[in-house]
Structure 1
C-alpha cells in the first residue's frame, strides 16, 4: 500500500510518452515565445550575496532561500504537500521559504514546501513522495523529508537516498490525522517534532539563488500569468499594494503569496512507476538546462537555468549571461514541460 492508502503498482516506463498532451494556457505559451532565443549560459560563478558565509552587510544571517535578513540558520525540512481540491486550504504553506510545483499522475500536481528556521505549528495535508523528489532535494545536502509514504517499489530508493526521510511510521509523534477532513487529505505534520527526530539534517546553504534589486531595464509588465498541467492550474496575479504575487489554485484565489515566481521549463518523462489506477508517474528532470521565466515586481524576465549535478543548486541567468536577481521573500518554482 502507498502512504495514500492505495495499492501501488510498478509499471514499465516505455518510450511513448505519457499518452496525453500536457496543457499550457495561453499565458504560458506567450511566455515560451518570449523566451527564445537566449544567450547561452557561461561558466560564471553565481553569488547569492557578497558574503557567501550567510551573513549580510551588517552581520545578520541572510536566508539563501528567500534573501531575507534576520533569524538564524535552520535545518532544512521539505514536506510533500497535497494539492488536490479536497486538500485545500493547505495549512502552513504560507510559511514556506520555497515552494516547488511538480506534475504527478493524471496531470495532477503536488507541492514540495521547503522550510529553514521559520516553522509553522503544522503543515499539510502531507502526501506521498515521488522518485524525482530525490533528485530535486539532493541540492539541500541531507535535508529532512516529511511524506506520507510511497509506492513499494520506490521505498528502497527513498531509504537509500542521502536524506533524513521521516514518514509517519518513522516519526509517529510528529503526525496526526485531522478528524474534520476526509482521508487521505487529512494527514498533518508538526515540523518541530519531526526535526527533533532528525538532528543531523543539513542547515540551509546556498542553492544558487541570487537576490537583489530588479534590473533597471528589460522585462515586460505582467499583471497575471497562468500555467497548467492537464488537470491542475496555477495563477499568479501581481498585487502592487502588497508587493507580492497572489497565488490562485485551479482558478480559486488563496491566501498564498510569493515575492518571486519562477516558471522553469524542464524535461518531464515517464518513470518506471505508476499508481493503482494505471497512470504512469512522471519524472521531472531538474538536472540539466533550459528556459525559464522570472516573475518579480510585476514584470516578467526571460532567463536560462542550469543545474550541473544533483548535489548542486540551480543557476538562473538573464539574456546577457548574468545572474537573474530574485526579489527577497518567498519563492515559488513551477516545473513545466519544455
Structure 2
C-alpha cells in the first residue's frame, strides 16, 4: 500500500435509461465525452448520503457526481443528469450555499432539492437556476415506504423537467476527453476521507471503471446494481464556514470551487497528479498535468470528490 496525494492508495452495470442515449454521429456530451443529444436538459439533484439513505436510486445514470462536505463532517451528493434521465432519483435532500457557485459553470441548469435554510432562499431564487422543489412541482416528488422520512423523498425527473421546457442544454464545463497522459501510478484502490465519511474507489478491469464504496460498504443502486465511475477527480479545495447553520446550530461548510489547486485523476487503473483551475464562477473547471498540458478524462461518468485542503 502506498500513500496517495489525498488519501490511501493501493497499487496494483448501468441502469437502463428511460430516455434513449444518443446514436453515433450525434454531438458528444461535454460532461461525458460520449455521443449525446444536443437538446438534452441539464438537471442537478441534491442527494442524501447518510447510511439510512442508502442504497440510492437513479444515481448510476448521472453524468457527473460531486461529493461535498456538509454539517458534522458528513457529505451530500450533487448529481448532474443530461445524457440519461432515470425514472426516479433519490433520496432528495436540501440545498447548500456552495451549490450556487458550483452550478454556475453549467449556465442555467435545473436544480431539484427538498429545502434549504430560510436565509438561503433569496440567494437560490436570485441564482441562474430553475428551482424544482416539492412546493413548486409537488407532482414531481413521491415518498417511498421502504425507509423513514426524511430519507424517503424521491424525484420523478420527467415530471420535474416538464415544468421547465426551456431547460438549459449541456455546454462546455472545461473537461476534455481523450487518450490518457503519459506516466501515472498504477493504483488498485484509493480512499478519501472527510471528518465523518470516507469514499473508496477500487479499479475493476471488468467494469472498465472504479467501483465506489461509502464508509467501507460497496455502493449500489436499487435500479442498477454496483456504482461505478469511469473517472474520479479528487479536487483539493478550501472548505470554510458559511453564514448559515442547520437546525441543531451546526455551521454549514462552504466549499469553494472557484480558484485553483492540486488534484488527482483516476482513470484506466492509474492515478495522475494534476492541477485544477476555475478563474471565476461563470468559467468551467480545467484539469492540467503538472507541466500545464490539458489532462484528458476517459469518456464516461466522472465522480468529483471535493476534499478539504490539507
TM norm structure 2: 0.90
In structure 1, C-alpha distance between the alignment counterparts of 2:285 and 2:174, rounded to whole Å:
5
Give the aligned partner of residue 208 of structure 1: 174
Query: 1:156 is paired with a residue of what secondary structure?
Result: helix
Give the aligned partner of residue 107 of structure 2: 141
Is the Cα–Cα contact under 8 Å of residues 73 and 116 in structure 1 kept in the other structure? no
> 1:102 aligned to 52, 63, 68, which one?
68
Residue 32 of structure 1: how far off its partner (Å) = 4.4
> Structure 1 residue 266 and structure 2 residue 242: aligned?
no
Give the aligned partner of residue 91 of structure 2: 125
In structure 1, C-alpha distance between the alignment counterparts of 2:229 and 2:202, rounded to whole Å:
10
Q: Where do 1:236-275 residues align within 5 Å?
A: 236-254=201-219, 255-275=226-246
Aligned residues between the structures: 290
Query: 1:325 is paired with a residue of what secondary structure?
Result: coil
Give the aligned partner of residue 307 of structure 1: 278
In structure 2, C-alpha distance between the alignment counterparts of 1:213 and 1:30, rounded to whole Å:
23
Taking a change above 3 Å as real, the CA distance of residues 175 and 32 of structure 1, as seen in their structure-2 partners, is: closer
In structure 1, C-alpha distance between the alignment counterparts of 2:165 and 2:187, rounded to whole Å:
43
Give the aligned partner of residue 154 of structure 1: 120
Taking a change above 3 Å as real, the CA distance of residues 33 and 249 of structure 1, as seen in their structure-2 partners, is: closer
Taking a change above 3 Å as real, the CA distance of residues 61 and 272 of structure 1, as seen in their structure-2 partners, is: same
> Structure 1 residue 30 and structure 2 residue 4: aligned?
yes
Give the aligned partner of residue 15 of structure 2: none
1:49-91 per-residue CA deviation (whole Å, 9 max, x = no partner) reads xxxxxx99x7421011011124444110000000000000000
Unaligned runs of at least 5 residues, structure 2: 9-21, 220-225
In structure 2, C-alpha distance between the alignment counterparts of 1:61 and 1:314, rounded to whole Å:
21
Please tell me the root mean square deviation across aligned C-alpha atoms, in Å: 1.8
Query: 2:274 is paired with a residue of what secondary structure?
Result: strand
1:266-307 per-residue CA deviation (whole Å, 9 max, x = no partner) reads 010000011111211000000000000000001000000100
In structure 2, C-alpha distance between the alignment counterparts of 1:328 and 1:82, rounded to whole Å:
27
Q: Where do 1:173-188 residues align within 5 Å?
A: 173-188=139-154
Taking a change above 3 Å as real, the CA distance of residues 167 and 33 of structure 1, as seen in their structure-2 partners, is: closer
Is the Cα–Cα contact under 8 Å of residues 261 and 294 in structure 1 kept in the other structure? yes
Q: Where do 1:47-126 residues align within 5 Å?
A: 59-126=25-92
In structure 1, C-alpha distance between the alignment counterparts of 2:64 and 2:7, rounded to whole Å:
27
Is the Cα–Cα contact under 8 Å of residues 163 and 201 in structure 1 kept in the other structure? no
In structure 2, C-alpha distance between the alignment counterparts of 1:315 and 1:30, rounded to whole Å:
21
Query: 1:211 is paired with a residue of what secondary structure?
Result: coil
Give the aligned partner of residue 192 of structure 2: 227
> 1:324 aligned to 295, 300, 310, which one?
295
Computing the radius of gyration from Cα coordinates, the structure with the larger value is 1
Unaligned runs of at least 5 residues, structure 1: 1-25, 35-54
1:169-224 per-residue CA deviation (whole Å, 9 max, x = no partner) reads 00001001112220000000011111111122210111010001112x21000000
Give the aligned partner of residue 166 of structure 1: 132
Is the Cα–Cα contact under 8 Å of residues 64 and 207 in structure 1 kept in the other structure? yes
Runs (4 or more) in structure 1 with deviation over 2 Å come to: 70-73
Is the Cα–Cα contact under 8 Å of residues 62 and 70 in structure 1 kept in the other structure? yes
Is the Cα–Cα contact under 8 Å of residues 110 and 132 in structure 2 kept in the other structure? yes
> 1:297 aligned to 249, 259, 268, which one?
268
Query: 1:320 is paired with a residue of what secondary structure?
Result: coil
In structure 2, C-alpha distance between the alignment counterparts of 1:264 and 1:117, rounded to whole Å:
24
Taking a change above 3 Å as real, the CA distance of residues 152 and 317 of structure 1, as seen in their structure-2 partners, is: same
Give the aligned partner of residue 22 of structure 1: none
Is the Cα–Cα contact under 8 Å of residues 72 and 117 in structure 1 kept in the other structure? no
